[in-house]
């Protein structure tokens, strides 16, 4: 569906974030869609999503200067410090280097986290409205709107050193107070832990940066090790280097793809669902024995009857 394609796909793109691995995923997905998908609708739908994820991962990898790590600059340009390319668009220099400038990727990850969490907040507001739980909607659900707006302005002033006019500063303070009153009206003073929990959920999206750096860093390390071993072995060193590169990058692709899937699911089920989802179902009834042709007689009652 569209949500899975955009939201889940975006998380995995940032988590993987390598153009070389993106191309591998793209080609494998095309093969699965055209060949294996003929006999399985499940494989066909997964391959379709993989095609778009492969394209987007490839684009994101080129934007962040990663193609099997530093494979191209190291083995083709002869200088691993060189970028894949150099381009200026509207004053923005490309590619961004995720290793040398991780704050750019961290900013993107946190902005995406805010968008994702607020989608959950909106769903929670809508859910309370549909259930006609108006008090909960105005307190527990809607409180995050003024808290985020006011809190964001205050964080910008005191942490990011952004200059605010006195008017905006007082507006931010009022918004935070309104949000706290709304939240405490529903949960009481313990609602303070809901605020710290929300901040923790938001910061959890920093894992997008961590996993992306792990992908690029491991690819870079495999390139360095393969090159060193290839140079150490005479004559057949080039063959050994190629074999090591192929094996190492296959392992890295498998590990990082698994990590991207797991952490993406974690952000979905823990951080996102926590904004609105409520578990339901039937009350558990313990198993018991229902006898049709026999019955159990209390031993004490049986002794008394004797």
8 A C-beta contact, residue 253 and residue 67? no
Determine the pLDDT at residue 200: 94
- In the chain, pLDDT over 70 holds for what percent of residues? 91
- The SS3 assignment for 57 reads helix
Q: What is the pLDDT of residues 162-213, one digit of tens each?
A: 899 999 999 999 999 999 999 999 989 898 999 999 999 999 999 988 888 9
- The answer as to whether 101 is a domain residue is yes
- The answer as to whether 238 is a domain residue is yes
- The answer as to whether 243 is a domain residue is yes
> Among 21-30, 208-217, 285-294, whose mean pLDDT is lowest?
285-294
- Categorize the per-residue pLDDT at 56 as very low, low, confident or very high, splitting at 50, 70 and 90: confident
Determine the pLDDT at residue 105: 87
Determine the pLDDT at residue 298: 62
- The answer as to whether 292 is a domain residue is no
Q: What is the pLDDT of residues 113-171, one digit of tens each?
A: 999 999 999 999 999 999 999 999 999 999 999 999 999 999 999 988 889 999 999 99
Question: What does the mean pLDDT of the chain come to?
Answer: 87
Determine the pLDDT at residue 304: 52
Provide mean pLDDT across the span 3-23: 72
Provide mean pLDDT across the span 209-225: 93
Total count of domains within the chain = 1
Q: What is the pLDDT of residues 228-254, one digit of tens each?
A: 999 998 889 999 999 999 999 999 999
Residue with the larger pLDDT of the pair 3 and 99: 99
Determine the pLDDT at residue 198: 94
- The answer as to whether 281 is a domain residue is no
- The answer as to whether 203 is a domain residue is yes
- The answer as to whether 251 is a domain residue is yes
CA atoms within 13 A on the CB side of 157: 17
Backbone region of residue 44 per phi and psi (left: phi > 0; alpha: psi in -120 to 50; beta: other values):
alpha
- The SS3 assignment for 92 reads strand
pTM: 0.80
Structural domain of 159: 2-275
Does the structure show a pLDDT above 70 at 2? no
- The answer as to whether 280 is a domain residue is no
8 A C-beta contact, residue 113 and residue 205? yes
- Categorize the per-residue pLDDT at 3 as very low, low, confident or very high, splitting at 50, 70 and 90: low
Percent composition of the chain: helix, strand, coil (DSSP 3-state, to 5): 75, 5, 25
């Amino acid at each position: 569906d569209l949500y899975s394609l955009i939201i889940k796909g975006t998380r995995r793109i940032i988590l993987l974030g390598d153009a070389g691995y993106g191309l591998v995923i793209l080609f494998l997905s095309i093969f699965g869609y055209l060949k294996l998908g003929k006999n399985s609708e499940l494989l066909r739908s997964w391959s379709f999503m993989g095609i778009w994820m492969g394209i987007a991962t490839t684009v994101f990898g080129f934007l962040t200067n990663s193609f099997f790590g530093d494979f191209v600059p190291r083995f083709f340009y002869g200088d691993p410090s060189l970028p894949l390319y150099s381009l200026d668009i509207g004053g923005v220099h490309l590619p961004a280097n995720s290793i040398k400038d991780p704050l750019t990727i961290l900013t993107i990850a946190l902005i995406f986290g805010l968008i994702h969490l607020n989608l959950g907040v909106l769903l929670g507001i809508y859910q309370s409205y549909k259930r006609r739980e108006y008090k909960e909607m105005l307190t527990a659900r809607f409180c995050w709107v003024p808290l985020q707006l006011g809190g964001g302005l205050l964080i910008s002033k005191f942490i990011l050193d952004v200059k605010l006019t006195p008017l905006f500063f007082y507006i931010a303070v009022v918004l935070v107070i309104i949000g706290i009153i709304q939240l405490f009206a529903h949960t009481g003073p313990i609602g303070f832990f809901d605020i710290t929990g929300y901040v923790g959920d938001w910061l959890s999206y920093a894992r997008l940066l961590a996993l992306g750096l792990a992908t690029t860093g491991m690819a870079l390390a495999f390139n360095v090790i393969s090159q060193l071993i290839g140079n150490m072995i005479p004559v057949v060193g080039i063959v050994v280097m190629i074999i090591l590169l192929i094996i190492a990058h296959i392992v890295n692709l498998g590990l990082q793809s698994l990590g991207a899937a797991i952490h993406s699911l974690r952000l979905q089920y823990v951080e996102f669902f926590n904004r609105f989802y409520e578990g339901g179902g039937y009350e558990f009834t313990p198993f018991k024995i229902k006898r049709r042709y026999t019955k159990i007689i209390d031993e004490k009652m049986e002794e008394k009857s004797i």
